[in-house]
Amino acid sequence: MSLLDFLSKPAPPGVADPPPLPPSLNNLPNQDYIDAALAYVASYPFDQSFTVYTTPNKRQEKKFDPTSDWQDKSRAVLRACILADRAPLASLSSGAEPYDASAHQLDFVRNFIIDRRWALEEVASEMRALFRLVQSRTTRTVLTPMGTTKSVADQVRERDGDKCRLTGVGRWKKGSEAEDQEARRVITSTLQVVHCLPFSTGDTSFHLVEALTGVKFAGWQADGVENAFLTRPDIHELFAAFSIFFEWIQTPNGEEVQCFPSNDPDNEFLIQIIIRGRTGPATPRPVLRSLLNDRGQLCESILDTPLRPRHDTSIADLDPKYFIVHKYIGDIVWMSGGPEPVSDEEEDEDGDEKVLSDTTIGAFIEKLHSPEMDMLPREREGIFQPRILLVHKNLVWDE
């Protein structure tokens, strides 16, 4: 019996857990397991009702019946989880043994595909919840305490000089003398603090990434200045959608090699953080072509150039480890078709209230001016309070 034939055997009635591989199938070449897992995922029907993961550490009580779109996306996500290149994660290994990307790829195949092969709906839901969570939480700006007199956001703004680290654009301040059009080209009304890996994801999320990658996350502190930078909202969205990522480059004698920043004060190498953009459907170029940097140039020019240096060198700069994992998650997301939209229901799972505040007013105003939206009295919805509802213009209202 081939490995695929064994994996494809249906579950007997009343048996929840699939049996382990027999000895005859337990010592095959690594590629055989990968090929069999890909073939099994491609043929798996994804048609069982199951309990949905809304976040990696929270499930809905209701059962979910997969739709055809959900089935197609789930196959693509699991295929990407199997095939995504883990080699760039080697620099994160802190153990005595060197990081073995192929071994951790096989671990994922065995632990998530082979050992849970009768419930791939749940596996796919778990992985998709992780990627949506990183995307949605990365788009939020949150003031968080560090046990000091300054919040993370305050320290990031001070370190970055209250300017976007990618474009150099500063924030418009009340009473500014910059009234002429040329001066206004290099300011924006809002700058946002971006957490690369969102601090609110919880330990369960790190455990899932660890299962995917084999990287140990003990001691990682996501709520810190090394995991955050200041940027303008439109570029914030590109980063949250994994269209932009950073790469650490060391240049000894003009040669470029990837490395980590050194703490050695005598280090003679120039270490730079390079801004990269994805290609194909994930490219950030169309958005960047509509924006200007602090030199009046199109922001497309920031790609493949160094990140702006920090303003206050007494405050720690970005730590590569968070950004390497963020890029890896983005690799999987774009291999499987791009980021998924996050519904209001999913965003509210943690009890977040949709209230108007300094951080939400921009999105609210943007929605008000959207050509796709109209104001509609809430009474039309069957609720008699004099409230207003935003609806899509193409929505046909049943009188």
pLDDT tens-digit profile of 64-74? 889 999 999 99
CB 243 within 8 A of CB 218: no
Which residues lie closer than 8 Å to 55 by C-beta, 6 or more apart?
129, 133, 205, 346, 349, 350
Model pLDDT, residue 222 = 77
CB 49 within 8 A of CB 20: no
Residue from 150, 4, 145, 125 nearest 74 by CA: 125
374: DSSP letter: E
Domain boundaries, the chain: 3-134, 138-350
CB 312 within 8 A of CB 357: no
Token code pair at residue 88 = 């760039």
Tell the residue number behind the tokens 């650490």, with chain if given. 248
Distance, CA of 78 to CA of 72 (rounded, Å): 10
Element (H, E) at 292: none
185: DSSP letter: T
Residue from 350, 313, 311, 291 nearest 142 by CA: 350
Model pLDDT, residue 260 = 42
Model pLDDT, residue 352 = 39
Token code pair at residue 23 = 């000895």
Model pLDDT, residue 58 = 67
Kind of pairing between the strands at 170-171 and 187-188? parallel
Tell the residue number behind the tokens 């369960």, with chain if given. 204
pTM for the structure as a whole = 0.79
Q: What SS3 class is residue 256?
A: coil
Distance, CA of 6 to CA of 397 (rounded, Å): 52
Q: What is the pLDDT of residues 347-367, one digit of tens each?
A: 443 333 344 555 555 555 555
Which residues lie closer than 8 Å to 148 by C-beta, 6 or more apart?
none
User: How does 315-347 read in b/e, with b if 16+ C-beta sit within 10 Å?
Assistant: eebbbbbbbbbbbbbbbbbbbbeebbeeeeebb
Per-residue pLDDT of the chain (399 residues; tens, 9 = 90+): 899 999 999 999 989 899 999 999 999 999 999 999 999 999 999 999 988 876 666 666 668 889 999 999 999 999 999 999 999 999 887 666 888 999 999 999 999 999 999 999 999 998 998 898 888 777 555 444 444 457 888 899 999 999 999 999 987 655 555 444 444 445 556 889 888 886 555 566 777 888 899 888 777 777 789 999 999 999 999 999 999 999 998 766 555 444 444 444 444 457 789 999 999 999 999 999 999 998 889 999 999 999 999 999 999 999 999 999 999 999 999 999 999 886 544 444 333 334 455 555 555 555 555 554 444 444 444 443 444 444 444 444 443
